[in-house]
Structure 1
Amino acid sequence: MRYFFLLVLLGGLGWCPAQAQAPAARHTFALGPTDFLLDGKPLQMISGELHYPRIPREAWRARLKMAKAMGLNTIGTYVFWNVHEPQPGQYDFTGNNDVAAFVRMAQQEGLWVILRPSPYVCAEWEFGGYPYWLQNVPGLKVRSQEPQYVAAYKRYIEAVGKQLAPLQVGHGGPVLMVQVENEYGSYGSDKQYLALNKKLFEDAGFDGVLYTCDPVADVAKGHLPGLLPAVNGTDKPAEIRRLVRANHDGQGPYYVAEWYPAWFDWWGAPHHTVPAARYTPGLDSVLRAGMSINMYMFHGGTTRAFLNGANYKGDTSHYEPQVSSYDYDAPLDEAGNPTAKFRAFRAVIAKYRPAGAAPLPPVPAAKPSAALPALQLTQYASLLGHLPAPVASPTPLTFEQLKQAYGFVLYRATVPGGRSEVLKINDLRDYAVVLVNGRRVGTLDRRLRQDSLRLALPAGPVQLDILVENLGRINFGAYLLQNNKGITRRVLLGGREVTGWRMYGLPFAQAPTVAAGSPTPAAASGPVLRAATFTLAQPIDTYLDMRQWGKGVVWLNGHNLGRYWAIGPQQTLYVPAEWLRKGTNDIKVLELLRPEQTALRFLDHPILSELSGPQP
């Protein structure tokens, strides 16, 4: 009887067991000889890549609605090991890292999902998605059968499986396919390793369609027999058919897992843009052939905090750390607004709508943006005056040895003065501000292959400080296992090794504290923290104009917006309206090179294509 009255009460509140436990509709998804088959009927996936950590969670739904409006029926996303397991055994699937919520939201918006939990992702992402701590395990070798790597990988993919395996299409979710590894053929050709990947995924609960993806030249090396081979970087139907059939028992279906409508940027190099007209014919040809496609990227967003990656191809090349903006010249710009490329691609996609399909939804309006009033960042703190407890060592320790993933480390030693000597840092990674008795005397930049600096040392004992920034671990190629950061070898002064170091970790995992009412000293020299508060009547998208600043990082209301650097090409930082508040807001800037700068200006548009200063 009590149960009856409880049901009546809950029914009056609009709840009943059927509503609470209603199972989601399950579907079948399979590979046919020429087509993907959803519930036995051909499905052409028209997909676009977007990454949940690069978009404020509050804006996920708006981006997904834009995907529908362009005509996409599917989205693709990587899953990022280093954001989900930042330290061994410490998992984070909350907030902006709640990938399951992102996938469920896609389903609510009527989109299918292609999942890419690799765990190597590349993606212009720090260490290609690997957590830094893997490098602290002696002998561990990523992308191999090395037992310590496999054990860490297994634990991680099982945690991912708990989040996402229930969201596969066969269980009532939107996930159609799951990718095993990621462009492995560009790295190796160990088929046993690929088979191990497949088993780890299956053991973690991924029981649907699995596939591999590789660039045109590497499909044979990176494909695992029995899985669908997807092809990256081409829109030529004949080439796609040839490669897939050659590696898949002479049949399809056919999927371009990464089709690039533009490219990414790195510091000190021109901004990449490609007009839509260069790409619409290729998109048309693939869709006309009935093939499925995933554009990388549909929407890039922003690589905030310190999570950008870098490229490096050896001693004959330059180290190329990527910028914070991941605008990518994609159909949807960094702020989530449709571009001319969006409209051109939409027009092509509209030609291939299934018979009887409803018209494409209208394109949502672009978000408004504004140039907010300029600020004076009057609150001040010297970085050197606010250091944590140090770690002492005769020789410099790397970030990894200090168990620090990202940010900065200050290396401090006392050296005899009264002379002019050359400072040499072997294998610096990646950027150093050098200070003598608290005053900046120069910088060293790995991009420019700089490792030496002549110092004029005053008489007496001298405090030598070297503030080192991790500009991003390599995310692609043969150097994945050479990704330690900081001072990785010796420091020489006048040819003699400097010993007796104290190291101060400055990871800035949270926004720094800057006390109110601290005026700027008359002769500020070293790196500084500046801050201010401001009020808003209504949050609105805006852009920080950093052209008068030197190099550093910005936090807004506790969110790390990313890096800025006067060399360009990125000169602004995107501020999403979702992270502004009606009323009081706070902003903090870490400035490395121009401590005298106090004025912070806003724009209503980005500047992503302005270079200045020395280039490689």
Structure 2
Amino acid sequence: MSKSLPTSLFVRLRVLLCAWFLVSAVAVAQQPARSFAVDGDHFVLDGKPFQVIAGEMHYERIPREYWRARMEMAKAMGVNTIATYVFWNMHEPRPGVYDFSGNNDLVAFLKLTQAEHLYVLLRAGPYSCAEWEFGGFPAWLLEDPKMSTALRSNDPAFIVPAERWIKRLGQEVGSLQIGNGGPIIATQIENEYGNFSNDHAYMAHMRDIFVEAGFTESLLYTVDPSKALANGEIPGIYSGVNFGTGNAEHGLKALEASRPGQPLFATEYWPGWFDLWGHPHQTRPIAPQLQDLNYILGHGASINIYMIHGGTSFGMMAGASQSTGAYRGNVTSYDYDAPIDEAGHPTPKFYAYRDVILKYTHEKPLPVPATPPVIAVPQFTLTQSASLWDRLPKPIESEKPLTMEQVDQAYGYILYRKQLPAALHNAQLHLDTMQDFALVYLDGKFVGTLDRHYHQETIALSTDGPSRLDILVENTGRLNSTKWMRNERKGIRGAELDGAPLTGWQIYSLPMSEVPAVSGHAPASATPAPHFAAGNFRLARVGDTFLDVRGLGKGLIWINGHALGRFWDIGPQGTLYVPGPWLKKGRNDVVIFELLKNDPAPKLAGLTTPILDAPTPSYENDPERKKKPAADAEFGPKLAAPASAPNAPKE
């Protein structure tokens, strides 16, 4: 007897199966595609009115292990969307070489937002600003001398690599746009271009690049501060407005006047501000911010809180500002006085913001997530040391000094060495375009420092006979805004002694891209000598901590191979945030590169609370801080917003 189905039954089953597939296909075809769009004076998500309540956080500033925790904390504050910049320099470290791995895994970050039922504003650039090194541009752009005029223009020197990058980004994340079922509801073109220039042909070209790169399944938009809206807008592309504390009514009315009838959107609302080395810690009061929030949400406008969580500019990724005409690097912390602090903890501002947001969304408050454990690390000593002079790489021979970019270097330090043939008496050494901080030595003995902040480029030299001149220059961070950034080549471009050009140099590239191995003992010298120092501590359990670096001078620090960032004893940052996932039970290794202090056994400790308001030089000793922001300062009115008094506690 055959075990096969009767022919008539088989035919009936086949017909039913085909009918089921047909009905399913029709049902899928009839499902409306997901979309986010402008509909008159409001946004619509999948055809329904939608008010964007976003909080900004940057995946590059948060250890990957904490991405989800930060999102959940933001969601508990009441937001429905996460905004993030995409920093070009992190993803294309060399021309045509891309990195989307580890902490640069943008796709993983975006998929995680979707898993957390959050939407995304993708601030794709190619320019970001964000107090990030060179505004997110890769340093290799500056290898081309044309970039002094080409940056952020239609000049092929800039637009060709920018287009290549945006198209590569489109390949990476295009499928994650809302129209393709992903979380990206809107993609930003450029960033605050109206503060930089008013070349509408450039912005139109940039729009075309985004369209060609496949950014057609999310809303394209631009953002500018209120005073610069007309300079940066593109016809047919949605435009939002950026502003800070106390400016809600002015900002939204400026947008309404510029774009009547469209949805109102505070695309950056600044609850805090960033810190600069040597300048007092910045905070902003809560009360006027709550008034702003009520005004924005009460008028049905959308908002992106920049930053809801600032995080940390780890390594050498902090940028720099020149808003007063005087250069100053940004500190490593990007706490920003945000509602969620640098370590992911809710602040009083978090709860106050949440109360206002929930008043308008009428949502039930979510439980505030638990925060990662915080631990203290007992004081420990860095017991080993090695002089930089004993660790120099093979030099580059050059008649004239070369910049970092000319020797294919992006970050770190660069050393210029030359033999001086005769004795000198008060000879004036002048460095051409010294950027940013230099230490000068004769025969290994410290002569003095030059600081770009004070426009210092000249120092006196005296010797008894022939000597070796060493000039060690630090890249303290490239400017991240204004047209001044076009000239941010690091190192020096020339040197003169009493007006005569100095030639015949040995140049040592010191990018500090790898953690040096250190062994030996601290050099016995009473004057500053650049050196590495190392030590370790042991832990029974891991957790976040704040490394107290107030006993150090100026330099870099690594823990277990992770670059924490820069330290400098001029304040205001006195501790560096150490994420728990970067620590381990048992031994933890610490290495520093120190420029200024020659303590033979420096001591460090891990605190349970950060110190972001350490003392800074007095105004009397820093006349540059008395100057008002320049008229063309990128952020205009927001720099003039009143700051809290130095060292004032947060509300």
State the TM-score, normalizing by the size of structure 1.
0.92
Q: Deviations over 1:363-412 (max 9, x none)?
A: 12333323211111112110111011110101110011011001000110
**Secondary structure of the residue that 2:484 maps to in structure 1?**
coil
Which residue of structure 1 aligns with residue 636 of structure 2?
none
**Secondary structure of the residue that 2:551 maps to in structure 1?**
coil
Which residue of structure 2 aligns with residue 387 of structure 1?
392
Q: Of residues 402, 418, 428 in structure 1, which corresponds to 2:423?
A: 418
Cα distance 1:241–1:474, how it changes in 2: closer, same or farther (>3 A)? closer
Pairing of 1:419-458 with structure 2 (within 5 A): 419-420=424-425, 421-458=427-464
Q: Please give the alpha-carbon distance, in whole angstroms, between the structure 1 residues aligned to 2:459 and 2:319.
A: 27
Q: Please give the alpha-carbon distance, in whole angstroms, between the structure 2 residues aligned to 1:436 and 1:376.
A: 30
Q: Please give the alpha-carbon distance, in whole angstroms, between the structure 2 residues aligned to 1:237 and 1:329.
A: 19
Q: Contact 2:249 / 2:295 at 8 angstroms: preserved in 1?
A: no
Cα distance 1:556–1:147, how it changes in 2: closer, same or farther (>3 A)? same
Q: Give the CA RMSD over aligned residues.
A: 2.0
Amino acid at match of 2:436: D
Q: Does 1:320 align with 2:328?
A: yes
Which residue of structure 1 aligns with residue 127 of structure 2?
120
> Percent identity between the aligned chains?
47
Which residue of structure 2 aligns with residue 61 of structure 1?
68
Which residue of structure 2 aligns with residue 293 of structure 1?
303
Q: Please give the alpha-carbon distance, in whole angstroms, between the structure 1 residues aligned to 2:379 and 2:145.
A: 51
Which residue of structure 1 aligns with residue 649 of structure 2?
none
Q: Please give the alpha-carbon distance, in whole angstroms, between the structure 2 residues aligned to 1:176 and 1:229.
A: 15
- 1:328 offset after TM fit, Å? 0.5
Which residue of structure 1 aligns with residue 230 of structure 2?
220
- 1:285 offset after TM fit, Å? 1.3
**Secondary structure of the residue that 1:456 maps to in structure 2?**
strand
Q: Contact 1:229 / 1:247 at 8 angstroms: preserved in 2?
A: no
Q: Contact 2:252 / 2:265 at 8 angstroms: preserved in 1?
A: no
Which residue of structure 1 aligns with residue 512 of structure 2?
508
Pairing of 1:140-151 with structure 2 (within 5 A): 140=147, 141-151=150-160
Q: Please give the alpha-carbon distance, in whole angstroms, between the structure 1 residues aligned to 2:504 and 2:252.
A: 62
Q: Contact 2:233 / 2:239 at 8 angstroms: preserved in 1?
A: yes
State the TM-score, normalizing by the size of structure 2.
0.87
Pairing of 1:26-175 with structure 2 (within 5 A): 27-140=34-147, 141-175=150-184
Amino acid at match of 1:507: P
Q: Please give the alpha-carbon distance, in whole angstroms, between the structure 2 residues aligned to 1:458 and 1:564.
A: 36
Q: Does 1:560 align with 2:563?
A: yes
Tell me which structure has the larger Cα radius of gyration: 2
- 1:245 offset after TM fit, Å? 4.3
Q: Deviations over 1:444-501 (max 9, x none)?
A: 1111111122223233x2111111001111111121211111012x212233322211
Q: Contact 2:281 / 2:572 at 8 angstroms: preserved in 1?
A: yes
Q: Contact 1:530 / 1:589 at 8 angstroms: preserved in 2?
A: yes
Q: Please give the alpha-carbon distance, in whole angstroms, between the structure 2 residues aligned to 1:103 and 1:44.
A: 20
Cα distance 1:317–1:423, how it changes in 2: closer, same or farther (>3 A)? same
Q: Of residues 540, 543, 547 in structure 1, which corresponds to 2:546?
A: 543
Q: Please give the alpha-carbon distance, in whole angstroms, between the structure 2 residues aligned to 1:84 and 1:241.
A: 34
Q: Deviations over 1:521-569 (max 9, x none)?
A: 3337411100112221111111111111110110011111010000011
Q: Please give the alpha-carbon distance, in whole angstroms, between the structure 2 residues aligned to 1:371 and 1:139.
A: 50
Q: Please give the alpha-carbon distance, in whole angstroms, between the structure 1 residues aligned to 2:206 and 2:268.
A: 21
Q: Please give the alpha-carbon distance, in whole angstroms, between the structure 1 residues aligned to 2:96 and 2:256.
A: 41
Q: Please give the alpha-carbon distance, in whole angstroms, between the structure 2 residues aligned to 1:139 and 1:609.
A: 41
Q: Please give the alpha-carbon distance, in whole angstroms, between the structure 2 residues aligned to 1:26 and 1:578.
A: 40
- 1:520 offset after TM fit, Å? 2.0
- 1:239 offset after TM fit, Å? 4.5
Q: Please give the alpha-carbon distance, in whole angstroms, between the structure 2 residues aligned to 1:241 and 1:610.
A: 36
**Secondary structure of the residue that 1:352 maps to in structure 2?**
helix
Q: Does 1:599 align with 2:603?
A: yes
Which residue of structure 1 aligns with residue 6 of structure 2?
none
Pairing of 1:164-563 with structure 2 (within 5 A): 164-207=173-216, 208-233=218-243, 239=250, 242-248=253-259, 250-312=260-322, 317-354=325-362, 357=363, 359-420=364-425, 421-459=427-465, 461-488=466-493, 490-515=494-519, 518-523=520-525, 525-563=528-566
Q: Deviations over 1:289-333 (max 9, x none)?
A: 1110001111111111111111225xx721121111101001011
Could you list the runs of 4 or more consecutive aligned residues of structure 1 that deviate by over 6 angstroms after TM superposition?
22-25
Q: Please give the alpha-carbon distance, in whole angstroms, between the structure 2 residues aligned to 1:69 and 1:269.
A: 33
Amino acid at match of 1:150: I
Q: Contact 1:435 / 1:526 at 8 angstroms: preserved in 2?
A: no
Q: Contact 1:535 / 1:583 at 8 angstroms: preserved in 2?
A: yes
Amino acid at match of 1:580: L
Q: Deviations over 1:94-118 (max 9, x none)?
A: 1111111111111111111000111
Q: Please give the alpha-carbon distance, in whole angstroms, between the structure 1 residues aligned to 2:33 and 2:389.
A: 59
Q: Contact 2:229 / 2:241 at 8 angstroms: preserved in 1?
A: yes
Cα distance 1:343–1:30, how it changes in 2: closer, same or farther (>3 A)? same
Q: Contact 1:396 / 1:411 at 8 angstroms: preserved in 2?
A: yes
Q: Contact 1:237 / 1:289 at 8 angstroms: preserved in 2?
A: no
**Secondary structure of the residue that 1:151 maps to in structure 2?**
helix
Cα distance 1:572–1:137, how it changes in 2: closer, same or farther (>3 A)? same
